[in-house]
Amino acid sequence: MKRFVKGLVLSSALLLSAVTPFMSVEAAPIREIGYKVQVNDALVDFPDSQPYLDDAHVLQAPVRFVSDKLGYEAHWENAGNELKVTLTNKKNTISFTTGDSSAVLNGKPITLQSVPKIVNGRVYFSVRALADVLGIQMQWDSSNQIAIYGADGKYHAPAWYATKFEKVIEGKATAYTAAPEENGGFASVDYFGNSLQVGTIAVDPNVIPLGSKVYVEGYNYDGLPAGGMYATASDTGGAVKGNKIDIFVPDPKAKAQQFGIQQVKIYVLE
């Protein structure tokens, strides 16, 4: 990779400090802000149906994914046009039917605060009602829109923090190193004179402005944080055009070439 080095004009200490790359850390993928459920320290994964707030402002979630995370086995049977669901673990057995506020907990009838329902083929149950029925403490984090079940009897911090971003780019990524031939014959520094490090990426400034903070996911390379990483757009390159980025890797050139060309998703953060 060759860079167009114009950094002398922009070499003031203030500007350099503004674009110094993040210290890259392993992080959960960025997600658009939505309602989430957490059990102890782990988020519940909803692969095809998401929690939502109903007309009564009650948070509803697909019960199967939540009950699995809580260690319950789920059994299903048809009940006319509705579904009867039984959740069982070593301590509790609860049976309920969609469309009905009546349920049975450990052989005793109870009345549910919110009626379970079928939405897009999934059985939804009030997150708060499920916690109350199963005797689990629940806390609500309004800033991050997460319902947190303390199934172990403890309080837990959110496992996900809301991150706003200006745009999402579906693009291609390659990798480069500190080798002089990949840096236009210059030392191992970025466009602004900062040392190259994990968290440095080269961009097309017409697509991602220099100095932008981004989150990159979708790559597969053992020299970078698994799952995704935060980075700073602080470098450019003659071959970096359009929706393409070049990711610095602290490895020999021979290993970096194994990166190849990969499809990635780039979140440009506010």
146 plus 190 within the same structural domain:
no
Which residues, 6+ apart, have CB-to-CB distance to 9 below 8 Å?
none
pLDDT digits (tens, 9 = 90+) for 190-228: 999 999 999 999 999 999 999 999 989 999 999 898 878
Q: Of the candidates 204, 232, 169, 265, which has an alpha carbon nearest to the alpha carbon of residue 1? A: 204
Q: Evaluate whether residue 232 is within a structural domain.
A: yes
Domain boundary among 86, 117, 150: 150
pLDDT at 6 over 80: no
Task: Give the β-pairing of 36-39 and 146-150.
Answer: parallel
Query: Considering only 55-59, 145-149, 181-185, which range has the smallest mean pLDDT?
Result: 181-185
Which residues, 6+ apart, have CB-to-CB distance to 108 below 8 Å?
none
Q: Evaluate whether residue 155 is within a structural domain.
A: no
75 plus 18 within the same structural domain:
no
Quote the number of domains for the chain.
Answer: 2
Q: Region 42-69: what's the mean pLDDT?
A: 94
Q: Please report, for the domain that includes residue 253, its CATH number.
A: 2.40.40.10
What is the strand order of the sheet 117-119 is part of?
52-53, 59-62, 122-126, 117-119
Q: Of the candidates 39, 26, 7, 52, which has an alpha carbon nearest to the alpha carbon of residue 194? A: 7
The pLDDT value given to residue 187: 73
The pLDDT value given to residue 33: 55
pLDDT at 255 over 50: yes
262 plus 175 within the same structural domain:
yes
pLDDT digits (tens, 9 = 90+) for 229-247: 889 999 999 899 999 999 9
132 plus 236 within the same structural domain:
no
Residue numbers of the domain that contains 174: 7-30+163-269
pLDDT at 5 over 70: no
pLDDT digits (tens, 9 = 90+) for 155-170: 998 887 777 788 899 9
134 plus 198 within the same structural domain:
no
Buried b (16+ CB within 10 A) or exposed e, 248-258: bbebeeeebee
Which residues, 6+ apart, have CB-to-CB distance to 205 below 8 Å?
233, 236
What residue has token string 């602004």? Answer: 192
User: What is the residue-averaged pLDDT of the chain?
Assistant: 86
pLDDT at 67 over 90: yes
Q: Region 26-37: what's the mean pLDDT?
A: 61
* Predicted structure pTM score: 0.55
18 plus 91 within the same structural domain:
no
The two three-digit tokens of residue 186, written as one number: 């210059």
The pLDDT value given to residue 13: 31
Domain boundary among 150, 181, 213: 150
